């Protein structure tokens, strides 16, 4: 396996960034055209179009899209007890973390009857897309649904594609039961996103769509943004590790592979001040990847988008990490506390040798729905705040408005908006 080790230089850095940017480029035009057609068809034909596309892409469509509460409970009761316990423990951690994100409104009482403030309301209805079949991720159910519940969303609607036999993945249904999903529909792909955004006779229209999916799902979300809100337009997964000579090569290799196995477009990067560690990690990647069930994906990902960069100083390594703004960043160095305050751009930060990325994916509590492709420079992880809206509140008494009327009229008339000014004048 050819994983590149490069000495840090401006040329090597720019070449590497250019390679990463390629994989997060514009969606293929044919995909956009296909998804646009699906959206338009669902808009015109509703459930009939959704059923036709489900048969076309999944092989079989259920008689009724909605899964009954009894079916969800049966799936939950049929799962392995240890799996259910693990899901519940993860859900408890996720819930405890996100409870701290709850936002309160405020009111400011000024002199002479001026009252202004802000109220925070949960969204009315949210759609959660969850991949099914071989790419089923129960952890994504917990990460997307629990913050929405805490935010006070009135109804959470989940869509998930059918398995090959036309049934729902039972692990996904068990996670939906634990997280508190209100309704579940057995439909996937761009047609499911279109149905959630536009509404059909069977599938209710939502205010926001969250959750991961393939390129068709991501494209549908992108095209329908504005008709409906979305969480983010996510690119391929990525991990960046900053490590010094204290790090273990076998740990670092394992952590790089934990993201590489997602997708051949996934990126795994190690930035280190130790040439010895870099060489050890290459050997460990070769050894460990042969033991993994998704060996071919891992090797393809690492050969195309893997990189080990050797820097002269830790400050140089940190500067490069901030420039790349990765989805997941591990900091495995002798003096973590010295360097953590210098990190500004990362979706989620993992500190020390015993905080590997999968702890965040499944269990610790912070959300695993994270900005990718350098967007951690300005985007944040999914949170309770993703599921609320804020409204300004203004209440003036007659006395308060009389005191301010001349200023308001002057500002309105200066802008040439005489009807605005008149709405103040007419009251006096």
CATH number of the domain bearing residue 11: 3.40.50.1980
Q: Does residue 1 carry a pLDDT above 80? A: no
In this prediction, residue 22 has a pLDDT band, given cuts at 50, 70 and 90, of confident
In this prediction, residue 3 has a pLDDT band, given cuts at 50, 70 and 90, of confident
* Whole-number pLDDT of residue 15: 81
Cα gap 149→95, rounded to integer Å = 9
Q: Are 190 and 39 in contact (CB under 8 A)?
A: yes
Q: Residue 156: in which H helix or E strand, if any?
A: strand 155-159
Full domain range(s) for residue 74? 29-230
Residue ending a domain, among 344, 365, 386, is 365
Residue ending a domain, among 230, 257, 283, is 230
* Whole-number pLDDT of residue 169: 93
Provide the β-strand partners of residue 117: 107, 393
Q: How many CB atoms lie within 10 A of CB 151?
A: 23
Evaluate whether residue 392 is within a structural domain. no
* Whole-number pLDDT of residue 16: 78
The answer to whether 261 is a known catalytic residue is no
pLDDT mean across residues, the chain: 94
Evaluate whether residue 360 is within a structural domain. yes
Cα gap 317→323, rounded to integer Å = 10
Residues 287 and 218 in one domain: no
Residues 176 and 143 in one domain: yes
Evaluate whether residue 103 is within a structural domain. yes
pLDDT tens string 147-197: 999 999 999 999 999 988 888 999 999 999 999 999 999 999 999 999 999
Residues 105 and 210 in one domain: yes
Pick from 162-166, 269-273, 312-316, 328-332: least confident: 162-166
* Whole-number pLDDT of residue 379: 94
* Whole-number pLDDT of residue 183: 98
Evaluate whether residue 391 is within a structural domain. no
* Whole-number pLDDT of residue 133: 63
Residues 190 and 166 in one domain: yes
Evaluate whether residue 373 is within a structural domain. no
Q: Quote the pTM value.
A: 0.93
Mean pLDDT computed over 310-319: 95
Provide the β-strand partners of residue 238: 267
Residue ending a domain, among 200, 230, 260, is 230
Domain count across the chain:
3
Residues 55 and 155 in one domain: yes
Provide the β-strand partners of residue 279: none
* Whole-number pLDDT of residue 217: 93
Residues 12 and 122 in one domain: no
Residues 342 and 416 in one domain: no
Q: At 23, is the secondary structure helix, strand, or coil?
A: helix
Token readout for 108 is: 């400011």
* Whole-number pLDDT of residue 11: 75
The answer to whether 73 is a known catalytic residue is no
Q: Does residue 343 carry a pLDDT above 90? A: yes
* DSSP symbol at 217: H
Residues 273 and 361 in one domain: yes
Q: Which of 238, 261, 284, 327 is catalytic?
A: 327
Cβ-in-10-Å burial (0-12, 13-18, 19+) of 408 comes to: middle
Q: Which of 98, 262, 328, 368 is catalytic?
A: 328
Q: Give 56's Cβ-side CA count (13 Å radius).
A: 10
Query: Which residue from 391, 397, 398 is spatially nearest to 106, judged by alpha carbons?
Result: 391
Provide the β-strand partners of residue 129: 159
Evaluate whether residue 388 is within a structural domain. no
Q: Does residue 25 carry a pLDDT above 90? A: no
Evaluate whether residue 389 is within a structural domain. no
Q: How many CB atoms lie within 10 A of CB 345?
A: 17
Cα gap 416→321, rounded to integer Å = 50
Angle 189-198/215-224 helices, nearest 10 degrees?
20
pLDDT tens string 42-81: 999 999 999 999 999 988 888 899 999 999 999 999 999 9
Residues 213 and 77 in one domain: yes
Mean pLDDT computed over 258-268: 92
Token readout for 184 is: 């579940």
Residue with tokens 């509404």: 199
Cα gap 245→271, rounded to integer Å = 11
Residues 279 and 202 in one domain: no
Q: Does residue 2 carry a pLDDT above 90? A: no
Q: Residue 210: in which H helix or E strand, if any?
A: strand 208-210
Question: Percentage of residues in the chain with pLDDT exceeding 70?
Answer: 98
Mean pLDDT computed over 358-362: 96
* Whole-number pLDDT of residue 27: 56
Cα gap 263→212, rounded to integer Å = 13
* Whole-number pLDDT of residue 9: 79
Residues 50 and 101 in one domain: yes
pLDDT tens string 265-308: 999 999 999 999 999 999 999 999 999 999 999 999 999 999 99
Distance of CA 291 to the CA centre of its chain: 30
Question: Percentage of residues in the chain with pLDDT exceeding 90?
Answer: 84
Evaluate whether residue 372 is within a structural domain. no
Query: Which residue from 347, 341, 371 is spatially nearest to 360, judged by alpha carbons?
Result: 347
Residues 103 and 211 in one domain: yes
């Amino acid at each position: 396996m050819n994983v590149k080790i490069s000495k840090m230089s401006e040329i090597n850095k720019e070449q590497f960034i250019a390679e990463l940017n390629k994989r997060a480029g514009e969606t293929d035009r044919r995909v956009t055209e296909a998804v646009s057609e699906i959206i338009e068809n669902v808009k015109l034909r509703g459930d009939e179009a959704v059923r036709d596309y489900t048969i076309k892409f999944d092989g079989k469509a259920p008689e009724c899209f909605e899964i009954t509460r009894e079916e969800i409970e049966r799936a939950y009761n049929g799962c392995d007890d240890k799996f259910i316990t693990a899901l519940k423990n993860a859900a408890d951690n996720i819930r405890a973390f996100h409870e701290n994100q709850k936002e309160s409104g405020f009111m400011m009482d000024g002199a002479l009857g001026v009252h202004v403030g802000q109220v925070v309301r949960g969204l009315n209805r949210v759609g959660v897309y969850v991949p099914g079949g071989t790419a089923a991720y129960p952890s994504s159910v917990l990460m997307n649904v629990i913050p929405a519940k805490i935010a006070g969303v009135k109804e959470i609607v989940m869509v998930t594609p059918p398995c090959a036999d036309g049934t729902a993945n039972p692990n996904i249904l068990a996670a939906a039961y634990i997280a508190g999903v209100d309704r579940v529909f057995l439909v996937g792909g761009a047609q499911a996103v279109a149905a959630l955004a536009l509404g059909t006779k069977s599938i209710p229209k939502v205010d926001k769509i969250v959750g991961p999916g393939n390129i068709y799902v991501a494209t549908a979300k992108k095209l329908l943004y504005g008709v409906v809100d979305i969480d983010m337009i996510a690119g391929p997964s990525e991990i960046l590790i900053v490590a010094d000579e204290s790090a273990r090569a076998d740990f670092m290799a394992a952590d790089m592979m934990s993201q590489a196995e997602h997708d051949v477009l996934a990126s795994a990067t190690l930035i280190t001040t130790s040439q010895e560690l870099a060489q050890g990690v290459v050997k460990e990647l070769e050894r460990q990847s042969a033991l993994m069930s998704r060996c071919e994906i891992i090797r393809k990902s690492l050969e195309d988008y893997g990189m080990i960069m050797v820097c002269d100083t830790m400050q140089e390594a940190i500067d490069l990490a901030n420039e790349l703004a990765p989805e997941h960043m591990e900091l495995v160095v002798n003096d973590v506390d010295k360097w953590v305050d210098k990190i500004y751009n990362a979706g989620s930060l993992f500190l020390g040798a015993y905080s590997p990325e999968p702890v965040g994916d499944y269990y610790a509590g912070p959300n695993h729905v994270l900005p990718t492709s350098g967007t951690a420079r300005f985007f944040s992880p999914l949170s309770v705040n993703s599921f609320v809206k804020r409204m300004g509140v203004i209440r003036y008494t007659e006395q308060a408005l009389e005191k301010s009327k001349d200023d308001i009229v002057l500002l309105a008339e200066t802008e040439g908006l005489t009807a605005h000014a008149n709405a103040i004048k007419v009251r006096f």
